[in-house]
Amino acid sequence: MHSPVRRACAVALFTCSTLLAGLAQAQDGLQVSLTARRVTTDSHGRETLAPADQAKPGEIVEYRVTYRNAGATPVREVAATLPIPAGTELVASSSRPAKVLASIDGVNFAGMPLKRRERLADGREVEREIPLAEYRWLRWPLGAIAAGGSQVVRARVRVSDTAVAARTER
């Protein structure tokens, strides 16, 4: 039997792959491939990447999405969109390219850090940053991808302890 963490990572990867495939079908010639790798650091501080199906709570998974134009003409106005799976939290400053938009609902995107207005007990309104744990989508405005060309986007997430605990209780 698979562990809850392994199931969570597999479901997250499948969900991302399915969503990205649907987005890619909207533009002829654009192929999208997603990889998920667990980030580990050796005793010398060097990072290595391993299969993500073995990620444990607290570990970091890097999602890389390659957008490849297999067509004969440029694909214009490409916006690379990556869902952030439930049970994970975006790692600060891990998105590449760094110019990225974020969303908590998949509809409204804005530059990072995301902010919202909150009303205090005394009636005053203040603007506060939204915690990274609430981010659910990232979007990169890539522009055009030339025929035969490709672009890669990536972001890292940390597997949540609380999400895994909730899955094991079900």
Q: What is the pLDDT along the chain (170 residues), one digit of tens a residue?
A: 444 444 445 445 544 554 554 444 446 788 999 999 999 888 888 988 888 877 789 999 999 999 999 999 999 999 999 999 989 999 999 999 999 999 999 999 999 999 999 999 999 999 999 999 999 999 999 999 999 999 999 999 999 886 444 444 44
- Other Cβ atoms within 10 Å of 118 Cβ, number: 10
pLDDT at 143: 92
Rounded Cα distance between 72 and 55, Å, is 39
Query: 3-state DSSP call for residue 30?
Result: strand
pTM (2 d.p.): 0.77
Rounded Cα distance between 57 and 133, Å, is 14
CATH 1.10.357 fits 4-169, yes or no: no
pLDDT at 2: 42
pLDDT at 93: 93
Rounded Cα distance between 21 and 77, Å, is 17
